[in-house]
Amino acid sequence: MIELFILLVKVFLVMNIALVLGSLCTWIERKGSALIQDRVGANRAGAFIESDKWFVKPALPFVRMMGWLGVINTLLCDSVKGLWKEDFVPEGASKFLHAAAPIIAVLPIMLAFAVLPLAPDFTLFGYYIHPRVAPIDAGLLFVLAMGSVAVYGVAIAGWTGNNKFSLLGSLRAAAQMISYELPMGLVFVALIVVYGSLDVYTIVERQGDLLWGFIPKWGVVMQPVSFVVLLLAGMAETKRGPFDLPEAESELAAGYFTEYSGMKFLLFWLGEFCEIALFALLLALLFFGGWHIPWVKLPEGVWWAALVGHVVLMTKVVFFCLLQIVIRWTLPRFRYDQLMNLGWKMLLPVSLVNLAVTAIIKVLV
């Protein structure tokens, strides 16, 4: 019984961490893009709120601050607006598939969070807790699998749009997502060779050691090429940044979600932002030591150490979210053939050579 309770708490927490990271990315995107483009950005909703109620008054300065920073606008106003918008279904489209597409786009991303650990193991009130929902040994493969299932959401969305822009957008998205999964898989294999384990938890634990006694054994030190490849492939996989061809608004209206409105449209965005967070989490776990602080050894199995580890991990995750968003707003969009060339003629050979070199070094050393 208590096991089931612990599991439910874990599911609740992981879901919420994913969603909070997603909404945080939304806010960073709105306000950060304003900063980058020298605009002010969202700063009105809630900024001038007045009330005489005694139980509201003490919170007013905080609420006004949040309004001024655009938090209320992004998190509250946008979603309420999404809920009240007309739910439009194009003529001749299957109503069921049209509604299912955004759910299929979000669900795999949420599921992928289930196999990633969010803190080191610890004991609380005599119970040993492993902070991960599904401790399966093929965790990295599961993330890849969920990435390929997410293609369906986009494909179905483009098809139910019932117009050429949508279909073209979804074709581009599917081709792009399938192409960039290959270098991503090869990067994972190289990491598995280096750390000798498929399990994400073990990979993170082994990054706590020191190389030659003074350099932390982080993934970025051991596999710098893999890091660059995964960063690029991840950004292409999220269909953002310089790789947002599937929704290129100058060519395709809005690509695969042209015909979506209201909450369904927002679901696609939620999926996208959660995917950013997912890739930030992967980069932090696989390449930047997860919950490890360089040269600092936290005691094992203690709850406060796990909490510190979680905060350290989340700091790294937020940093990589920020990095992806900054890249998205600074670089111009690729042309489609450039995108395919980068994937097949650059990243794939580079990751193959990287894998071969890694394997040779592993055998020799």
- The residues of the shown chain that bind another protein, judged by CB under 8 A, are 97, 136-138, 141-142, 144-149, 151-152, 155-156, 158-159, 167, 171, 174, 178, 198
Minimum separation from the CB atom of position 269 to another protein (A) = 23
Minimum separation from the CB atom of position 38 to another protein (A) = 38
Question: Closer to another protein at the Cβ: 27 or 256?
Answer: 256
Question: Closer to another protein at the Cβ: 146 or 313?
Answer: 146
Question: Closer to another protein at the Cβ: 182 or 220?
Answer: 182
Question: Closer to another protein at the Cβ: 8 or 138?
Answer: 138
Asked if 193 and 359 count as a contact pair (C-beta separation under 8 A), the reply is yes
CA-based angle 22:178:322, to the nearest 5?
30
Minimum separation from the CB atom of position 270 to another protein (A) = 22
Minimum separation from the CB atom of position 100 to another protein (A) = 9
Minimum separation from the CB atom of position 337 to another protein (A) = 9
Question: Closer to another protein at the Cβ: 146 or 231?
Answer: 146
Minimum separation from the CB atom of position 198 to another protein (A) = 5
Other C-beta atoms closer than 10 Å to the C-beta of 117 total 27
Question: Closer to another protein at the Cβ: 32 or 169?
Answer: 169
Minimum separation from the CB atom of position 108 to another protein (A) = 9
Distance CA 364, CA 176 (A): 36
Question: Closer to another protein at the Cβ: 184 or 274?
Answer: 184
Question: Closer to another protein at the Cβ: 78 or 275?
Answer: 275
Minimum separation from the CB atom of position 6 to another protein (A) = 18
